[in-house]
Structure 1
Amino acid sequence: MAVQPAERGVEAPPLTLSIFEFNSKVMQDELQKLALKVNHHEENIRFLKLELNAVEDSCADLGIKIGNYYSSMAAIANNDTSVEEAEQRTIQSILKQDETAAGIICQLKIRHYQHASKLPLMKDVLGVVATLGKINNDNLSRVLSEYLGLDNMLGVVCKTYDGVEGLETYDKEGMVDKTSGIHGLGRTIGKFLDGRFTVFCLENIRPFSGDFMIDDPQRKLLLHKPRLPSGEFPPGFLGFAVNMIHLDQANLSCLTAGGHGLRETLFYSLFSQLQVYKTRAELRNAIPLINDGAVSLDGSILRPNGSFCLGNRASLGIQFPVTANLGVSNLPVTITELEEQVKHKNWEKERLLEDIKRQEDLLNQVKDLFSKKKEQFMAYITQPGMLQRASQASPTIPSPATPGSNPFGSRPPHLRGR
């Protein structure tokens, strides 16, 4: 039907409320979809970064294993001390502390084994801290022993609190009964214990509450390694002291009633997350990343309270047994397997970095589009007089939106597909 000339000057009816609401809803729905896409890409990036952290941790662990492998092979070639010889050295140094609880217990177990094995008191005693773990580096053994101090290194370790009570009894006045417990046992071999001594009770120690490294025969603790803002590990970082203690099979199978072993009870209570670095300079550069103290192989000690131990290194005379043979039987016959694992992990790291970059690019694109659509939406709903004209319009007058009336280019359902 042709439009009459008189009708040409008549204005079109104002935008109705129904059209305004329809267009607003279309725009809001599209913004919501874009917001979901933003969340999707952000979740992908978070997941990929967790995967990247795990791969980098594996690379660091493999690097330490390769270093230990080469040092172990070199030490074995130079006829390094055997495990048995290393243990005997530590025991002999403890026996020289003959008027201590540790000295008496070692003497009873070594020289009076038949008699001591029948004593209820000795059945609950696992041994002395210095004899319950081994280390494959002499410098590390010295600095960790100095970090713990003589009292802790000579600490007696009991499985239960009953064992602690059995070590010492008291008379009615509260004085130590010198004829019973460890004091009485000392007298039977001509040793007289005087002064205080440290005792650790495994069942009373709050154990490490985290996870363990998967498929690790030593049941090392899964601890979060320090990272620089770039995501890399600080130079010189070798690991955590608690995981550098090697436990033999007998001590690995020693568990509390709650199923906790020596590493997550005794050694975690002694070292917590103490970090180990190659040099003093590297340790000091990493101070912002250190929470529970740190040591370096050249003798630096930073305690958890922030204090440094300065001056010449002190020799306690007691240290953990040292032998480079530790764990060599668990390593591959050649270094090829470890190096292949490193190559595979590096390839996996490159792939993850590419995936992260791709997700970040997509995220930026979606964010940009979201910002533009949001600006369009805000401009649409805040047009001068828009709400007033829409509210004055009759909602019963059908006036379908045209593409030009929708800033996102959307069309009403009955016009879609045309």
Structure 2
Amino acid sequence: MDGGHRRMSIDNDKLPISPKPLIVHDPSLNQGGQVNSPVFAGNPMQNGTAEAVICNSKKLEDAMQEIGLKIKHHEDNIKFLKAQKNRLDDSILDIRVALGKIHSATGTGSENQESSNGRNEEETIEKILRYNNSAAGICCKLKAQTTPHPLMKDLMGVVALLGKVDDNNLSRILSDYLGLETMLAVVCKTNDGVKALEIYDKEGSINKSSGLHGLGASIARPLDDRFVVICLGNLSPYAGEFIVDDPQRRLAIKKPRYLNEETPPGFLGFAVNMINIDPANLYCVTSTGHGLRETLFYSLFSRLQVYKTRADMLQALPLLTDGAVSLDGGIIKSGGVSVLGEREVEIKFPMSAGRLNLPENYFDTESRMKELKWKRARFVEDLQREQALLDHCKFNFEIKKQEFVKFLAHSSSYVTAPLSPAVGERSTPIS
């Protein structure tokens, strides 16, 4: 009889092949050379063992193949993200060079900016520092350090220093409207930054040796009072349109109008649009791409209206949806609450000092730079996330690989040991 009919079919990809001939019980052949069915019909236990070996081997191989596909997917993602990041790096470098040439030509470098804008801002900082045991004072001290403290990574600063105005009366009335506690409020980008400022023990008491409390104690400015912290990530940003081609990205809020479509006399604008913001903070301050105007200052002022005089403000009373202020000291808050009397305002928004002789597209270029840096930061975050997923998949692959090797070593005992032939049957060697 042909020897090919006497061989049992074994998937060489699923089971290891021994260099020595294997003696495998082949019940498919009887003494007369006739084929019996099914395989191992003479010994059901042995038949079940072989099927289990093949089935488990297939499962392990399928699991390894699935993990391998995931590894390939994450590797492709990392390759794409690195290419995008490199492209952004090139664009950022080109814009940085262009801005540098403008600064050199017009004398608007950082040093000149400090000389023109810094004097009024320094006065505000000095007044903040007089509040020795305040969180705002500690933050100003940290900002002044040459080596940034880790807490400063998520810290935007103090409300009073995040905006400027063009008029001293406007600075005074807007600062008075917000109040000292809000003007000295600390602004963070995320909840993680807020949590880092104050740490608690198991009983819920403040740990005075960590966070902003610990820093204050280390520079002889211990915190001894409550302080307000504003998290930009928790604010509901303005959802409307922006004024077209406005380098300051002012909000396109409809002006108050009477039924005859006339604007109230003395109306100067909305407070949220009368704050001048550093171009670096106009775009992409938050992880969702929003700037300070549509987050922080919209949250503080909403649609607060500004009028020239108290008389103008009172005349427009029916149109004051979110309150109003006047340059001569009038304040009406939302809900019809009037604030009377007067008080000295110590902490005020600094005055603006515009940069002169700049090209028309300068602010657009700065905004473009900020946007590209924000996009690059998102790509870096995605890269880190993909790398972590890739490492996890590779770890799982190694575990499955070890399981597979152990399985092969264990299962080989079922096929390498000689199996006793049943009565009337013969054994067939397989090389």
Per-residue Cα deviation, 1:353-395 (whole angstroms, up to 9, x for no partner): xxxxxxxxxxxxxxxxxxxxxxxxxxxxxxxxxxxxxxxxxxx
Contact 1:274 1:293 in 2 (8 A): yes
Per-residue Cα deviation, 1:145-174 (whole angstroms, up to 9, x for no partner): 000001110000001110000000101110
2:218 is the counterpart of 1:185: no
Corresponding pairs, count: 246
2:352 is the counterpart of 1:318: no
Per-residue Cα deviation, 1:307-345 (whole angstroms, up to 9, x for no partner): 11111x21231000013x33766799xxxxxxxxxxxxx
Per-residue Cα deviation, 1:39-70 (whole angstroms, up to 9, x for no partner): xxxxxxxxxxxxxxxxxxxxxxxxxxxxxxxx
Cα distance in 2 for residues equivalent to 1:292 and 1:327: 33
What are structure 2's unaligned runs of at least 5 residues? 1-114, 361-431
Q: 1:329 to 1:274 in 2, by over 3 A?
A: farther
Aligned to 1:344: none
**TM-score (structure 1 length as normaliser):** 0.57
Residue of 247, 250, 272 corresponding to 1:220? 250
Per-residue Cα deviation, 1:263-295 (whole angstroms, up to 9, x for no partner): 000000000000000000000000011100000
Aligned to 1:113: 146
Give the 5 Å matches for 1:41-56.
Answer: none
Q: 1:302 to 1:329 in 2, by over 3 A?
A: farther
Residue of 302, 306, 321 corresponding to 1:276? 306
Q: 1:276 to 1:326 in 2, by over 3 A?
A: farther
Give the 5 Å matches for 1:200-215.
Answer: 200-215=230-245
Per-residue Cα deviation, 1:285-306 (whole angstroms, up to 9, x for no partner): 0001110000000000000021
Q: CA deviation at 1:233?
A: 0.6
Aligned to 2:136: 102
Residue of 259, 280, 305 corresponding to 1:250? 280
Residue of 129, 134, 145 corresponding to 2:159? 129
Read off the aligned partner of 1:173 and give its amino acid letter: E
Aligned to 2:291: 261
Cα distance in 1 for residues equivalent to 2:146 and 2:212: 15
Contact 1:156 1:198 in 2 (8 A): yes
Per-residue Cα deviation, 1:162-200 (whole angstroms, up to 9, x for no partner): 000000010111011100000001111111101210001
Cα distance in 1 for residues equivalent to 2:328 and 2:359: 27
2:203 is the counterpart of 1:170: no
Contact 2:323 2:334 in 1 (8 A): yes
SS state at 2:230 partner: strand
Contact 1:295 1:302 in 2 (8 A): yes
Aligned to 1:159: 189
Cα distance in 1 for residues equivalent to 2:150 and 2:274: 33
Residue of 255, 258, 265 corresponding to 1:235? 265
Give the 5 Å matches for 1:341-356.
Answer: none
Read off the aligned partner of 2:136 and give its amino acid letter: A
Cα distance in 2 for residues equivalent to 1:283 and 1:329: 37
* Structure 1 outlier segments of 4+, above 6 Å: none
SS state at 2:179 partner: helix
Cα distance in 1 for residues equivalent to 2:234 and 2:278: 23
Q: 1:98 to 1:295 in 2, by over 3 A?
A: same
Cα distance in 2 for residues equivalent to 1:96 and 1:271: 26
Read off the aligned partner of 2:197 and give its amino acid letter: L
Q: CA deviation at 1:259?
A: 0.9
Read off the aligned partner of 2:123 and give its amino acid letter: R
Q: 1:113 to 1:254 in 2, by over 3 A?
A: farther
Q: 1:292 to 1:113 in 2, by over 3 A?
A: same
CA RMSD of aligned residues (A): 1.7
**TM-score (structure 2 length as normaliser):** 0.55
Cα distance in 1 for residues equivalent to 2:171 and 2:127: 14
Cα distance in 1 for residues equivalent to 2:251 and 2:355: 17
Contact 1:90 1:319 in 2 (8 A): yes
Per-residue Cα deviation, 1:100-132 (whole angstroms, up to 9, x for no partner): 00001101212x332xx1x32221101000000
Aligned to 2:175: 145
Contact 2:257 2:263 in 1 (8 A): yes
Q: 1:109 to 1:146 in 2, by over 3 A?
A: same
Contact 2:133 2:225 in 1 (8 A): no
Of all paired residues, the percent bearing the same amino acid is: 57
Cα distance in 2 for residues equivalent to 1:189 and 1:290: 46
2:325 is the counterpart of 1:295: yes
Q: CA deviation at 1:229?
A: 1.7
Read off the aligned partner of 1:256 and give its amino acid letter: T
SS state at 1:200 partner: strand
What are structure 1's unaligned runs of at least 5 residues? 1-80, 333-418
Cα distance in 1 for residues equivalent to 2:307 and 2:358: 24
Q: CA deviation at 1:254?
A: 4.7
Cα distance in 2 for residues equivalent to 1:327 and 1:214: 21
